[in-house]
Amino acid sequence: MKRPSEIDHYTYRVIWSEEDEQYVGLCAEFPSLSWLASSPEETLRGILMVASKVVKDMKANGEPVPEPICSRRYSGKLMVRIPPEVHRRLALEAAEEDISLNRLISTKLSS
């Protein structure tokens, strides 16, 4: 079985563009890159090729290459600033449900 390359670990998305009337290939780690094609398969191949060339060029120039999102470690801590009235409303809702504010917000974010 062929071992995946580092390019295969990046996060890709293929979406339909009404404006272009074609599929658009995107890579989350390289938000400035895109590829247009008439089929999803061709689009994915195209964005993979572009990302591969960019990574090769970055390495050749000694530039740091983005770490794939799937390889990044996350602490699970997220600090968000919200208006005081929203904070109050969420605290009240958590109290009424007899759960922590943290649990309430986590549940809301994951649904």
pLDDT in tens, 38-48: 999 999 999 99
Residues 50, 90: Cα–Cα separation, whole Å? 44
Domain ranges across the chain:
6-70, 74-110
Residue 55: is its pLDDT beyond 80?
yes
pTM check: above 0.85:
no
Alpha-carbon distance values, 30 to 1, 60, 108 (Å): 28, 17, 29
Chain centroid to CA 3: 23
CATH, range 6-70: 3.30.160
Q: Predicted confidence band at 59 (pLDDT cuts at 50, 70, 90)?
A: very high
pLDDT in tens, 63-105: 999 999 999 999 999 999 999 999 999 999 999 999 999 999 9
